[in-house]
A and B are shown apart, each in its own frame.
Chain A
Amino acid sequence: MKVLLKGGRVIDPSRRIDGAQDVILEDGRVAQVGAKLSPRGADVIEARGLVVCPGFIDLHAHLREPGREDRETIATGTRAAAAGGFTAVCAMPNTEPVNDNSGITRFILDQARAEGAVRVHPIGAITRGSRGEELAEYGDLKDAGCVAVSDDGRPVESARVMRRALEYARAFDLPVVDHCEEPALSERAAMNEGPVATLLGLRGTPAAAEAMVVERDVLLAELTGGRLHVAHLSTAGAADAVRRGKARGVRVSAEVTPHHLLLTDQAVKDSDYDASTKMNPPLRSEADRRAVLEALRDGTIDAIATDHAPHTIDDKQVEYEEAAFGVVGLETAVGLGLDRLVAPGLLSLPQLVALFSSGPARVLGLPGGTLAPGSPADVTILDLTRRRKVDPTRFHSKGRNTPFTGWTLKGAAVMTIVGGRVVWQDRR
């Protein structure tokens, strides 16, 4: 099967391409990128006026299956991904049971093959049951298809365990993804510690609780030579720790979410305690938000990831401090990036594309993230003029918990191609 993407603006940051080009996809691979390619034998997709990018990859999504299929399934989560312009998602391991063994990994991949709309890259657990005690079997996890290890929402509390994980994972070249948070400082916290939490009377977690664990982990990565990836970085101190680590040559990378780039803890107050503003790490101060944005612009941060965390209405429609942590993100991330980061000139369009494609691919060593001939035929096509209003009732995800309801976003993914096959489109 052969497809010609004709007349679009091709942006492939992995090869510094930005210009009017055609792309030919054949037998699941990128065959050719060039000017005025022959349509012979190909289905032609007209891309004039559109932007053709390497398929977007989300490093951080909670697909909830197995165990919490009431919140999301691999089928619904990957449909949400496709509709949001993602051709691949990394599935975090906080399923029930935890993805800490090859059996669960294989189940996830089987489900993805049977029902998934996009590629699924499972992330295994750092420790058995994500209890922070004994290491999981990384060799098995890697062979079964895991691309990294993480204890997900549960920070690795013990420096000794984190050290061993970074060391041992080297044998399999697996990055260790940590949710960096000192639990003793964030006990029972519902939001960021600061003036807003004070006025709301909510218990907060200080920015330092994140930064100190990032500092620790960077030092441990330096000590061990392991690969550290900092999940959903949200504070100035954490950005600074990663920046200094990179300058010293430590193998560290980091991701940031759209909500931490665009919202602050003031949103909790403005929403009158609406739990769709509750996630972990929490929305931070304006100073943190600006510092994280700066770290994104200067290359300290490698990728934008959604931390897509679907919940049921019952999980959220309760007292703020009782509500579950997390927001959905797969169907809003690209629009938010185009409308709120590129349009105001905070990032160039190629920068944004890189943060969604070559950046995440490099961080976890994933296939894709490029349109180099021979790479997987995964393509995301953007329409920079398309306006969409965020309407959770129209999400493909089972989760409706977004803080962006009602935002009108200009710019959207309008076609998602995985392995040369159109898995989702919204053409006019």
Chain B
Amino acid sequence: MTGYPHRHLLGIERLQPSEIAAILDTADGLREILDRPIKKVPALRGKTVVNLFYEPSTRTRASFEVAEKVLSADSLSVAAAASSVQKGETLLDTARNLEAMNPDMIVIRHSAAGAPHLLARHCRAAIVNAGDGAHEHPTQALLDALTLRQRKGRLEGLRVAIVGDLLHSRVARSNLWLLSKMGARLVLCAPPTLVPPGLEAFAPVTHRIDEAVEGADAVMMLRIQRERMTGGFYPSDREYHLRFGLTEARVKRAKKDVVILHPGPMNRGVEIASEVADGPYSVILDQVTNGVAVRMAVLLLLLGGGAEG
């Protein structure tokens, strides 16, 4: 397996476009396995993967677990909130203890930005970042890209609007890196209180959602992350929805074949109207299936499994 020369997957930022393409191509090739009656190949037999989740997650964790099972890796999921963390053990001690069991890979989700980098410095196992604070969520950006590529046949030149809580979103950061590296034309939209400094270096920023959606090939909605907010970024959900929410009327400004993405979980009636979330241009459930394929690709590329089965 070539095309991915790194030991870890900590973020999209340091990947070359060719490496991103390699992951997407691999995922495309693997997706077919998920449609087979017997969804299992022996590619990673004998490899051990630990899913170390310090934050609650349904989708991402389930997706990694399915990918691991399909590829026949032995996997173990640790919901760290419910284990030794509560006894005051440090992240590094937990990781070292898990390492003593010789896993080949640790998949980590953590509320602190840079937690995967700490592990990468101190562990032998390959580290996959499954979301670290407001920093990156690389496999989410990869599955978004895979979904877009399937629907549009390309990423280059696509007009993509990223709308919502840009301040707290790791999904936004990974997508900014990925889509800009792959040549998409981005536009960002959020109330000014949710736009951190420096984003304008990536793409134009607007505070009018109509402007952002205008002529878009794709609209990527970001969840309002109430749990990360300390007070008063916008006055009310009502006003947010009225001014920054994606409604059917607004979708009409986009291209006819626009696709709407959302990393989930959605706040229906806040950043996205239910009619849009459940509408014909929504690819939100495709994203979930592609998530498994992308994670299979990452597992395979990092663990250097043999035949694809």
- What residues make up the interface of A, taking CB atoms closer than 8 Å to B? 187-188, 193-203, 272-273, 314, 317-322
Q: Of B120, B133, B230, which is within 8 A of A201 by CB?
A: B133
Total B residues in contact with A, Cβ cutoff 8 Å = 26
> What 9 A-B pairs come out closest when comparing CB atoms?
A195-B198, A273-B114, A201-B135, A201-B134, A319-B112, A201-B113, A198-B196, A198-B198, A320-B114
**A341 and B33 alpha carbons, distance in the complex (Å):** 62
Q: Of B133, B170, B198, which is within 8 A of A321 by CB?
A: B133
B121's closest neighbor in chain A, by CB?
Answer: A272
Does the CB pair B115–A319 fall under 8 Å? yes
Does the CB pair B92–A198 fall under 8 Å? no
**A200 and B170 alpha carbons, distance in the complex (Å):** 9
Could you name 8 residue pairs across A and B whose Cβ atoms are closer than 8 Å? A195-B197, A198-B198, A202-B135, A272-B117, A272-B120, A321-B112, A321-B113, A322-B112
Q: Of A194, A202, A319, which is within 8 A of B118 by CB?
A: A319
Q: Which of B114, B117, B197, B201 has the most CB of A within 10 A?
A: B114
Does the CB pair B197–A201 fall under 8 Å? no
Q: Report if B262 contacts A (CB, 8 A).
A: no
Residues of B within 8 A of A273 (CB): 113-114, 117-118
Residues of A within 8 A of B121 (CB): 272
**A193 and B90 alpha carbons, distance in the complex (Å):** 27
Overall SS of chain A's interface: loop
In B46-103, which residues have CB < 8 Å from any A CB? Answer: 90-92
- From residue A316, how far is it (CB to closest CB) to chain B in Å? 11
A194's closest neighbor in chain B, by CB?
Answer: B197
Residues of B within 8 A of A319 (CB): 91, 110, 112, 114-115, 118
With A201-B134, A321-B112 given, name 19 new contacts (CB 8 A). Answer: A194-B198, A195-B201, A197-B196, A197-B197, A198-B173, A198-B199, A199-B13, A200-B113, A201-B135, A201-B173, A272-B121, A273-B117, A314-B90, A317-B90, A317-B118, A318-B91, A319-B115, A319-B118, A321-B133
- From residue A192, how far is it (CB to closest CB) to chain B in Å? 10
Residues of A within 8 A of B173 (CB): 198-199, 201
A273's closest neighbor in chain B, by CB?
Answer: B114
- What residues make up the interface of B, taking CB atoms closer than 8 Å to A? 13, 90-92, 110, 112-115, 117-118, 120-121, 132-136, 170, 173, 196-199, 201, 230
Q: How many A-B pairs fall under 8 Å by CB?
A: 67
Does the CB pair B133–A199 fall under 8 Å? no
- From residue A324, how far is it (CB to closest CB) to chain B in Å? 13
- From residue B110, how far is it (CB to closest CB) to chain A in Å? 7
**A188 and B168 alpha carbons, distance in the complex (Å):** 14
B196's closest neighbor in chain A, by CB?
Answer: A198
Residues of A within 8 A of B197 (CB): 193-195, 197-198
Residues of B within 8 A of A317 (CB): 90, 92, 118
- From residue A244, how far is it (CB to closest CB) to chain B in Å? 26
Does the CB pair B112–A320 fall under 8 Å? yes
User: With A194-B197, A273-B113, A317-B92 known to touch, is A200 a contact of B135 (CB < 8 Å)?
Assistant: yes
B112's closest neighbor in chain A, by CB?
Answer: A319
**A197 and B173 alpha carbons, distance in the complex (Å):** 12
**A198 and B200 alpha carbons, distance in the complex (Å):** 11
Residues of B within 8 A of A200 (CB): 113-114, 135
- From residue B170, how far is it (CB to closest CB) to chain A in Å? 6
- From residue B271, how far is it (CB to closest CB) to chain A in Å? 20
Residues of A within 8 A of B118 (CB): 273, 317-320
- From residue B127, how far is it (CB to closest CB) to chain A in Å? 12
A196's closest neighbor in chain B, by CB?
Answer: B198
**A364 and B307 alpha carbons, distance in the complex (Å):** 73
Does the CB pair A318–B92 fall under 8 Å? yes
- From residue B214, how far is it (CB to closest CB) to chain A in Å? 25
Residues of B within 8 A of A321 (CB): 112-114, 133
Residues of A within 8 A of B113 (CB): 200-202, 273, 320-321
B92's closest neighbor in chain A, by CB?
Answer: A317
- From residue B230, how far is it (CB to closest CB) to chain A in Å? 7
Residues of A within 8 A of B230 (CB): 187-188
- From residue A131, how far is it (CB to closest CB) to chain B in Å? 23
A202's closest neighbor in chain B, by CB?
Answer: B113
Does the CB pair B134–A318 fall under 8 Å? no
- From residue B121, how far is it (CB to closest CB) to chain A in Å? 7
**A196 and B199 alpha carbons, distance in the complex (Å):** 10
**A320 and B121 alpha carbons, distance in the complex (Å):** 13
**A380 and B170 alpha carbons, distance in the complex (Å):** 51
Residues of A within 8 A of B199 (CB): 198
Residues of A within 8 A of B201 (CB): 195
- From residue B227, how far is it (CB to closest CB) to chain A in Å? 14
**A200 and B112 alpha carbons, distance in the complex (Å):** 10
Q: Of A194, A195, A202, which is within 8 A of B133 by CB?
A: A202
Q: Which of A273, A319, A321 has the most CB of B within 10 A?
A: A319
**A203 and B111 alpha carbons, distance in the complex (Å):** 12
Does the CB pair B92–A201 fall under 8 Å? no
- From residue B151, how far is it (CB to closest CB) to chain A in Å? 28
Does the CB pair B114–A199 fall under 8 Å? no
